Structure 1
Amino acid sequence: MEQLFIEVTNRIPVEQTIDDYLAIDSDVPDTREDMSTEQIVAAVQETVEVEPTEDDTEDPTLPPVSAKSALKAVETLRLFLLQQENCSTLVNGLDGYESQIQNIATNSLKQKKITSFFTTN
Protein backbone atom coordinates (compact mmCIF):
# COMPACT_ATOMS: atom_id res chain seq x y z
CA MET A 1 0.00 0.00 0.00
CA GLU A 2 2.84 2.35 0.90
CA GLN A 3 4.55 1.52 -2.38
CA LEU A 4 1.39 2.47 -4.28
CA PHE A 5 1.17 5.79 -2.43
CA ILE A 6 4.79 6.59 -3.29
CA GLU A 7 4.22 5.66 -6.92
CA VAL A 8 1.14 7.86 -7.22
CA THR A 9 2.84 10.72 -5.39
CA ASN A 10 5.78 10.57 -7.77
CA ARG A 11 3.46 10.95 -10.76
CA ILE A 12 2.09 14.29 -9.52
CA PRO A 13 4.11 17.21 -10.93
CA VAL A 14 6.02 18.98 -8.16
CA GLU A 15 5.55 22.43 -9.69
CA GLN A 16 1.77 22.28 -9.18
CA THR A 17 0.51 23.38 -5.77
CA ILE A 18 -2.92 23.17 -4.19
CA ASP A 19 -3.38 26.90 -4.84
CA ASP A 20 -2.74 26.32 -8.54
CA TYR A 21 -5.32 23.56 -8.53
CA LEU A 22 -7.95 25.65 -6.75
CA ALA A 23 -7.41 28.61 -9.09
CA ILE A 24 -7.34 26.53 -12.28
CA ASP A 25 -10.20 28.48 -13.88
CA SER A 26 -9.38 31.93 -12.54
CA ASP A 27 -8.15 33.05 -15.98
CA VAL A 28 -11.47 32.14 -17.64
CA PRO A 29 -13.63 35.25 -18.10
CA ASP A 30 -17.00 35.22 -16.35
CA THR A 31 -19.57 35.59 -19.14
CA ARG A 32 -22.70 35.18 -17.10
CA GLU A 33 -24.50 38.27 -15.95
CA ASP A 34 -25.26 38.87 -12.32
CA MET A 35 -28.93 38.16 -11.86
CA SER A 36 -31.11 39.55 -9.16
CA THR A 37 -33.21 37.23 -7.02
CA GLU A 38 -36.32 38.25 -8.96
CA GLN A 39 -34.65 37.40 -12.27
CA ILE A 40 -33.57 34.01 -10.99
CA VAL A 41 -37.08 33.23 -9.73
CA ALA A 42 -38.58 34.39 -13.03
CA ALA A 43 -36.15 32.22 -15.00
CA VAL A 44 -36.95 29.17 -12.91
CA GLN A 45 -40.70 29.71 -13.03
CA GLU A 46 -40.72 30.36 -16.75
CA THR A 47 -42.48 27.54 -18.52
CA VAL A 48 -41.81 26.54 -22.06
CA GLU A 49 -44.88 25.87 -24.15
CA VAL A 50 -44.46 22.61 -26.02
CA GLU A 51 -46.96 21.70 -28.66
CA PRO A 52 -48.16 18.14 -28.20
CA THR A 53 -47.18 15.76 -30.93
CA GLU A 54 -49.29 12.89 -32.13
CA ASP A 55 -47.27 10.50 -29.96
CA ASP A 56 -48.05 12.54 -26.85
CA THR A 57 -51.79 12.72 -27.45
CA GLU A 58 -52.38 9.08 -28.31
CA ASP A 59 -52.63 6.47 -25.60
CA PRO A 60 -51.65 3.34 -27.45
CA THR A 61 -53.58 0.41 -26.11
CA LEU A 62 -52.40 -2.86 -27.52
CA PRO A 63 -54.94 -5.60 -27.99
CA PRO A 64 -54.50 -8.41 -25.48
CA VAL A 65 -52.70 -11.49 -26.75
CA SER A 66 -53.51 -14.85 -25.22
CA ALA A 67 -50.79 -17.25 -24.13
CA LYS A 68 -52.14 -19.73 -26.66
CA SER A 69 -51.64 -17.21 -29.49
CA ALA A 70 -48.15 -16.36 -28.24
CA LEU A 71 -47.17 -20.03 -28.12
CA LYS A 72 -48.55 -20.49 -31.65
CA ALA A 73 -46.43 -17.55 -32.83
CA VAL A 74 -43.30 -19.06 -31.23
CA GLU A 75 -44.03 -22.38 -32.93
CA THR A 76 -44.51 -20.64 -36.30
CA LEU A 77 -41.23 -18.80 -35.83
CA ARG A 78 -39.50 -22.06 -34.89
CA LEU A 79 -40.78 -23.73 -38.08
CA PHE A 80 -39.56 -20.78 -40.16
CA LEU A 81 -36.10 -20.83 -38.58
CA LEU A 82 -35.78 -24.60 -38.98
CA GLN A 83 -36.22 -24.12 -42.73
CA GLN A 84 -33.32 -21.64 -42.83
CA GLU A 85 -29.62 -22.44 -42.81
CA ASN A 86 -27.39 -21.69 -39.82
CA CYS A 87 -30.22 -20.65 -37.50
CA SER A 88 -29.85 -23.35 -34.88
CA THR A 89 -28.85 -20.87 -32.16
CA LEU A 90 -31.97 -18.83 -32.85
CA VAL A 91 -34.11 -21.95 -32.69
CA ASN A 92 -32.54 -22.87 -29.36
CA GLY A 93 -33.18 -19.33 -28.11
CA LEU A 94 -36.88 -19.77 -28.73
CA ASP A 95 -37.01 -22.39 -25.98
CA GLY A 96 -36.56 -19.67 -23.37
CA TYR A 97 -39.42 -17.64 -24.82
CA GLU A 98 -41.65 -20.68 -24.97
CA SER A 99 -40.85 -21.59 -21.38
CA GLN A 100 -41.56 -18.04 -20.17
CA ILE A 101 -44.89 -17.91 -22.00
CA GLN A 102 -45.86 -21.29 -20.52
CA ASN A 103 -44.98 -19.99 -17.04
CA ILE A 104 -47.15 -16.92 -17.59
CA ALA A 105 -50.02 -19.11 -18.78
CA THR A 106 -49.66 -21.43 -15.79
CA ASN A 107 -49.53 -18.57 -13.30
CA SER A 108 -52.65 -16.99 -14.78
CA LEU A 109 -54.75 -20.12 -14.29
CA LYS A 110 -57.41 -19.95 -11.63
CA GLN A 111 -57.63 -22.82 -9.19
CA LYS A 112 -60.96 -24.59 -9.25
CA LYS A 113 -62.93 -25.08 -6.08
CA ILE A 114 -63.09 -28.62 -4.74
CA THR A 115 -66.87 -28.59 -5.08
CA SER A 116 -66.60 -28.14 -8.84
CA PHE A 117 -65.32 -31.71 -9.14
CA PHE A 118 -68.47 -33.11 -7.54
CA THR A 119 -71.09 -31.22 -9.50
CA THR A 120 -72.56 -32.82 -12.57
CA ASN A 121 -73.56 -30.82 -15.58
Structure 2
Amino acid sequence: MSATAINFQEKFSRFSEHWSPKVIAAMNDYQFKLVRLRGEFVWHQHADTDEVFIVIEGEMTLRFRDRDVLLRAGELYVVPKGVEHQPVAADECKVMLVEPKGVVNTGDAGGALTAQNDVWI
Protein backbone atom coordinates (compact mmCIF):
# COMPACT_ATOMS: atom_id res chain seq x y z
CA MET A 1 0.00 0.00 0.00
CA SER A 2 1.26 3.44 -0.91
CA ALA A 3 1.86 6.02 1.80
CA THR A 4 0.70 8.87 -0.44
CA ALA A 5 -2.20 9.63 -2.75
CA ILE A 6 -1.75 9.46 -6.52
CA ASN A 7 -1.91 12.91 -8.11
CA PHE A 8 -3.09 12.84 -11.73
CA GLN A 9 -1.41 16.09 -12.77
CA GLU A 10 1.93 15.02 -11.30
CA LYS A 11 1.68 11.73 -13.21
CA PHE A 12 0.71 13.51 -16.45
CA SER A 13 3.78 15.75 -16.05
CA ARG A 14 5.99 12.67 -16.45
CA PHE A 15 5.13 12.03 -20.11
CA SER A 16 4.10 14.01 -23.20
CA GLU A 17 3.49 11.44 -25.94
CA HIS A 18 -0.02 10.80 -27.22
CA TRP A 19 -1.86 7.46 -27.43
CA SER A 20 0.60 5.76 -25.06
CA PRO A 21 -1.18 4.70 -21.82
CA LYS A 22 0.82 4.68 -18.58
CA VAL A 23 -0.21 2.58 -15.57
CA ILE A 24 -0.60 4.49 -12.30
CA ALA A 25 -2.36 1.92 -10.11
CA ALA A 26 -3.76 -1.60 -10.07
CA MET A 27 -6.70 -3.24 -8.34
CA ASN A 28 -7.04 -7.01 -8.55
CA ASP A 29 -6.53 -7.74 -12.26
CA TYR A 30 -7.43 -4.21 -13.39
CA GLN A 31 -5.12 -1.33 -14.22
CA PHE A 32 -5.74 2.41 -14.04
CA LYS A 33 -3.93 4.09 -16.92
CA LEU A 34 -3.40 7.73 -17.86
CA VAL A 35 -3.17 8.68 -21.52
CA ARG A 36 -2.91 11.89 -23.52
CA LEU A 37 -5.10 11.93 -26.63
CA ARG A 38 -4.82 14.17 -29.67
CA GLY A 39 -6.12 13.55 -33.17
CA GLU A 40 -7.79 10.35 -34.35
CA PHE A 41 -7.03 6.88 -33.03
CA VAL A 42 -7.64 3.68 -34.99
CA TRP A 43 -11.03 2.00 -35.20
CA HIS A 44 -10.82 -1.06 -32.96
CA GLN A 45 -12.63 -3.26 -30.47
CA HIS A 46 -11.75 -5.42 -27.48
CA ALA A 47 -13.40 -8.83 -27.82
CA ASP A 48 -12.94 -9.89 -24.21
CA THR A 49 -13.42 -6.78 -22.07
CA ASP A 50 -15.27 -3.53 -21.57
CA GLU A 51 -13.15 -0.35 -21.59
CA VAL A 52 -13.71 2.66 -19.33
CA PHE A 53 -12.83 6.22 -20.42
CA ILE A 54 -12.77 8.92 -17.71
CA VAL A 55 -11.95 12.43 -18.96
CA ILE A 56 -9.69 14.28 -16.52
CA GLU A 57 -9.08 17.40 -18.64
CA GLY A 58 -10.31 18.55 -22.05
CA GLU A 59 -12.85 16.79 -24.21
CA MET A 60 -12.97 13.87 -26.58
CA THR A 61 -15.41 12.02 -28.78
CA LEU A 62 -15.95 8.29 -28.87
CA ARG A 63 -17.07 7.45 -32.38
CA PHE A 64 -19.20 4.41 -32.97
CA ARG A 65 -20.47 3.18 -36.33
CA ASP A 66 -23.97 4.48 -35.53
CA ARG A 67 -23.35 7.51 -33.26
CA ASP A 68 -20.81 9.74 -31.49
CA VAL A 69 -20.52 10.28 -27.73
CA LEU A 70 -18.94 13.55 -26.55
CA LEU A 71 -17.10 13.33 -23.22
CA ARG A 72 -15.95 16.36 -21.22
CA ALA A 73 -13.84 16.70 -18.06
CA GLY A 74 -15.51 14.87 -15.19
CA GLU A 75 -17.41 12.45 -17.44
CA LEU A 76 -17.09 8.70 -17.89
CA TYR A 77 -18.18 6.23 -20.54
CA VAL A 78 -18.01 2.42 -20.65
CA VAL A 79 -17.47 0.91 -24.09
CA PRO A 80 -18.91 -2.62 -24.00
CA LYS A 81 -16.71 -5.50 -25.08
CA GLY A 82 -16.87 -6.30 -28.76
CA VAL A 83 -18.11 -2.81 -29.77
CA GLU A 84 -16.00 -1.11 -32.42
CA HIS A 85 -15.02 2.43 -31.49
CA GLN A 86 -12.62 5.25 -32.35
CA PRO A 87 -11.41 7.80 -29.77
CA VAL A 88 -10.89 11.29 -31.22
CA ALA A 89 -9.69 14.54 -29.61
CA ALA A 90 -9.34 17.75 -31.63
CA ASP A 91 -7.14 19.26 -28.89
CA GLU A 92 -5.13 17.42 -26.27
CA CYS A 93 -7.33 15.55 -23.81
CA LYS A 94 -6.17 13.84 -20.62
CA VAL A 95 -7.95 10.56 -19.90
CA MET A 96 -7.87 7.73 -17.40
CA LEU A 97 -8.57 4.24 -18.74
CA VAL A 98 -9.68 1.36 -16.54
CA GLU A 99 -9.19 -2.08 -18.04
CA PRO A 100 -7.81 -5.52 -17.25
CA LYS A 101 -4.06 -5.96 -17.20
CA GLY A 102 -2.69 -6.95 -20.60
CA VAL A 103 -5.25 -5.17 -22.77
CA VAL A 104 -3.61 -3.85 -25.94
CA ASN A 105 -4.57 -0.23 -26.65
CA THR A 106 -5.30 -0.87 -30.33
CA GLY A 107 -7.39 -3.98 -29.61
CA ASP A 108 -7.90 -6.10 -32.71
CA ALA A 109 -6.55 -3.42 -35.09
CA GLY A 110 -2.83 -3.43 -34.19
CA GLY A 111 -0.63 -1.09 -36.20
CA ALA A 112 1.69 1.84 -35.63
CA LEU A 113 -0.25 3.25 -32.64
CA THR A 114 0.07 0.05 -30.61
CA ALA A 115 1.74 1.11 -27.36
CA GLN A 116 4.03 -0.88 -25.12
CA ASN A 117 1.90 -2.54 -22.46
CA ASP A 118 2.28 -2.45 -18.67
CA VAL A 119 4.40 0.73 -18.51
CA TRP A 120 4.25 2.18 -14.98
CA ILE A 121 4.96 5.79 -14.06
Q: TM-score, normalised by structure 2?
A: 0.18
By relative contact order (CA 8 Å, sep 6+), the higher-ranking structure is 2
Q: TM-score, normalised by structure 1?
A: 0.18
Question: In terms of Rg, which structure is larger?
Answer: 1
